[in-house]
Chain A
Amino acid sequence: MNRFVTQRDITGSEDMEALDQTVADRTLLEGIARGERAAFQRLYTRQSVRIFRFLMRLVQNKATAEELLNEVFLEIWQHAARYEGRSSPSTWMMAIAHNKAVSSLRRRREVTGIDESMPETADLDDDPEETAQKQDKGRIMRSCIAALSPDHREILDLVYYQELSVGEAAEALGIPENTVKTRMFYARKKLSELLKERGVDRGWP
């Protein structure tokens, strides 16, 4: 008997649901390619929240995330016919969102001169142990995730929130699968280091 229950075991019909969603999204993209506004609005309703949250994770600003979300959907409206079905619609849309966010961060870096590829140091209090006692661990972890570099925040979001497989994440980011695995590994490692600085020692790595 396996003691390690995965999410797949909990939701046995997950694969079928994912397949249904992919088929539904493909049908909507076909409608959008024919210029059907109703299909466009339905796709927006289905996908906008998760794409918006992905963008928020990266740019950390609501106005910018909304602006980029609209750029993503405008591109979908104009170029739905270019979707060739090589990846799932959600991965295809996530790749568009990734490119928009990367461009936005680059522009911001050029304007402000702040290199956000370097992780921030999480706000350190005078007494880390005391802080750990005061604040709940979850809140500290969310704060440390927010302090990671955009690359590391992005991979955590794609894997844990968007639930992309290794192959899908590679497709969305345009990088090899092994790079996805190592990027995720280093993101988690960095997260552990930041947590340790905040008084939460996870005993790993």
Chain B
Amino acid sequence: MNATMDEREEIEALLPWFVTGKLAEAERVRVELYLAEHPDVARQVALAREESVETIAGAESFGVPSRASFDRLMAEVGRHERRQAGLLQSFAPYLERIADWIGGFSRMQLGGLAVAAALLLAVQAVTVTYLLTGGGATYQTASGPSDIAPERGTFALVSFKPTATAQEITAMLAELGAQVVDGPKAGGLWRVRLAAEPLPPADAQARIEALRAKSTVVGFVSLTQ
């Protein structure tokens, strides 16, 4: 008896989608077979259809959005476009330099540069690891490093794909809230500020991964001071 009740409840639960024709094929067949064997459930189908009709009628009574609403939306879209254009303009000097710099190389030179950049990053990674793990002798000036005010923030060295356009680079940086602050450096690397404050290692790594994920635009990425 319980099994029968459970099946009936399951079938009843599917009826709204049965009347809208949105059941998966297997479920639709299951409902049809059940209905053929239990004609009394036809009443349930009628109730669901009635609900469907009145829900649609209710929705139609809501009317349509006003023309003024659309005008406000397009005005906001215009403002958004202008903000984006302003952002593009602020990056223009750097982007021109990137474009000029990339444009000045042949395909072979670009290939060579990519290899050089990879080597540079490998050397940098080894050096940073060596220093962080306490290897090698270090020295400190008498006044100590605290006398030098380092530029605040979290930074990365980044190279962009030769195929990336200036617009793509700008959009990508804007999306991640990053800014080019220096470059190009040796190997076609640019210094990019990822955050205005020094981030905890996990957060900084997350920003790096976000940059890496933009693989159509970004070539190499490495955290830097």
- Residue numbers of A with Cβ under 8 A of B are 2-4, 6-11, 14, 35, 37, 40-41, 44, 48-49, 52-54, 56-57, 62, 65-66, 69-70, 73-74, 77-78, 138, 141-142, 145-146, 156-157, 159-161, 163-166, 168, 181-182, 184-185, 188, 191, 202-204
Contact = CB atoms under 8 A, between A and B. Distances in A.
A1 to B, nearest CB: 10
A181 B24 CA distance: 14
B54 interface: yes
B57 A156 contact: no
Contacts of A52: 62, 64-65
A78 B51 CA distance: 37
B51 A156 contact: yes
A195 to B, nearest CB: 10
Interface of B: 9, 12-14, 16-24, 28, 32, 35-36, 42-45, 47-48, 50-66, 69-70, 72-74, 76-77, 80-81
A160 B62 contact: no
Nearest to A202: B47
B72 A6 contact: no
A64 to B, nearest CB: 11
30 contacts: A2-B36, A4-B18, A6-B19, A6-B20, A7-B19, A7-B20, A8-B21, A48-B65, A48-B70, A49-B64, A49-B65, A52-B65, A53-B60, A66-B65, A70-B73, A74-B80, A77-B77, A141-B50, A145-B58, A156-B51, A157-B55, A160-B55, A160-B56, A161-B56, A161-B58, A164-B22, A182-B13, A184-B16, A188-B16, A203-B43
Nearest to A54: B59
A163 B20 contact: yes
Contacts of B70: 44, 48
**In terms of DSSP, what is the predominant structure of the interface of chain A?**
helix
Contacts of A168: 22
Contact of B42 (A3, A65, A66): A3
Contacts of B80: 74, 77-78
B12 A191 contact: no
A149 to B, nearest CB: 15
A47 to B, nearest CB: 11
A4 B15 CA distance: 11
A53 B18 contact: no
Given A4-B32, A202-B47, A56 B62 contact: yes
B21 A9 contact: yes
Contacts of A6: 18-21, 28
B57 to A, nearest CB: 6
A44 B21 contact: no
Contacts of B69: 66, 69-70
A70 B57 contact: no
Contacts of A163: 20-22
A138 B42 contact: no
A100 to B, nearest CB: 14
Contacts of A10: 21
Contacts of B65: 48-49, 52, 65-66, 69
B55 A145 contact: yes
B132 to A, nearest CB: 36
A40 B19 contact: no
